[in-house]
Amino acid sequence: MTRIVIVEDEIDIASVVQDYLRHAGYETEHFTDGHSALESIVAAPPDLTLLDIMLPRLDGIEVLRRAREHTAHPIIMLTARIEEVDRLLGLELGADDYVCKPFSPRELVARVRAVLRRTAPGLQGPASQSEAPGLVLDDVHWRASLEGTPLNLTRREFGLLQVLSRHPGRIFSRARLLELAYDDTVDVTERAIDSHVKNLRRKLGAVTPEYDWIRSVYGVGFAWEAQADAAR
Ligand code: CA
């Protein structure tokens, strides 16, 4: 059975979340402080952890940071502050997703399902091109083709495609993309990234209009949709 740990000191929120998750068929375990949660997560990593940030004894960011030294299991952060999201999802802290408070329990369950699906065993391991069947990247010549059709990308678009497609489901902020996909960031603004992503989308869409490969994450950035998700 899929086991989910909930770390939340607000009892009312935790009990509603627990009810919904159990109803959806998950086994749940609840901790009200960061310290005991961390101990349990490290001793026996669950299938997924829902981690609030404002917690007594040890806050959620510290729990996340320390947990990541021992386990790579999926962790969804519960946060009331959108400005924290960038850092949470960055490689520095490595949360898998976040849900902003206040949230609907239904939305939370949907998010749990999505994260479990994309981190399911068959999809784990090093990022590879098999996540996007039909997509071939030539890293030496910055050329890409989709289902045999050359995409005719600019170097910028190629860089974005490289980073996004090799980490399906992972949400990248614009700042992070700027860091990873552009080797010289001098003349690139975060707004320019939006237009490069738009062009990339258009070129991908010309070959496979049935798929929306790149998901916009409101207020944050972009994520690559694994084809299994896109085809859903
Ligand atoms: Ca709290």
The domain that contains 88 carries what CATH number?
A: 3.40.50.2300
Which residue reads 């999201």 in tokens? 85
Predicted confidence (pLDDT) at residue 135 exceeds the cutoff of 80: yes
Mark whether 91 and 70 lie in a shared domain.
yes
pLDDT beyond 70 at 74: yes
| Report field, pTM of the whole predicted structure over 0.85 | no
- Ligand 1 centroid to residue 116 C-alpha, Å: 23
Query: Number of structural domains, the chain?
Result: 2
CA distance 42 to 63: 10
pLDDT for 92? 64
Q: Are both 104 and 133 inside the same structural domain?
A: no
Residues 54 and 33 grouped into a single domain: yes
Partnered with residue 28 across adjacent β-strands are 4
Same domain (yes/no): 201, 220? yes
- Shared domain for 144 and 115, answered yes or no, is no
pLDDT in tens, 44-66: 999 999 999 999 999 999 999 99
Q: In this predicted structure, what is the pLDDT of residue 76?
A: 93
> Cα of 92 to ligand 1 centre, how many Å?
22
- Tell me which residue range forms the domain holding 105: 3-119
Residues 223 and 136 in one domain: yes
The CATH code of the domain that includes 174 is 1.10.10.10
Ligand 1 centroid – CA 208 distance (Å): 44
